[in-house]
Amino acid sequence: MVDRSVEAFCGLYCGACPVYLKREGDWIVRHVLKEHALSMETLHCEGCRTDMLSPSCQHCVVRDCAKQKGLDSCSQCAEMPCEGIAGFGSGRSHGCEVIGNLTFLRDNGSKAWLASQAAQWQCPMCGRVGSWYETTCSQCGTALPAGYDPPES
In the complex, least distance from residue 132 CB atom to ligand SF4, rounded to whole angstroms = 9
**Contact criterion met (CB below 8 Å) for 9 and 69:** no
Residues in the chain: 153
Among 123, 131, 146, 147, binds Zn ion (CB under 5 A): 123
Q: Burial, 120: exposed, middle or buried (Cβ in 10 Å; 0-12, 13-18, 19+)?
A: middle
Residue 126 binding Zn ion, by CB under 5 A? yes
Closer CB to ligand SF4, residue 65 or residue 105?
Answer: 65
Q: Which is nearer to ligand SF4, 60 or 116 (CB)?
A: 60
Burial readout 77-108 (b: 16 or more C-beta within 10 A, e: otherwise): beebbeeebeebeeeeebbebbbebbebbbee
105 binds ligand SF4 (CB under 6 A): no
Q: Which residues would be at the binding site for ligand SF4 (CB under 6 A)?
A: 8, 12, 14, 17, 19-20, 45, 47-48, 53-54, 56-57, 62, 65-66, 69, 71, 74, 77, 79-80, 82, 84-85
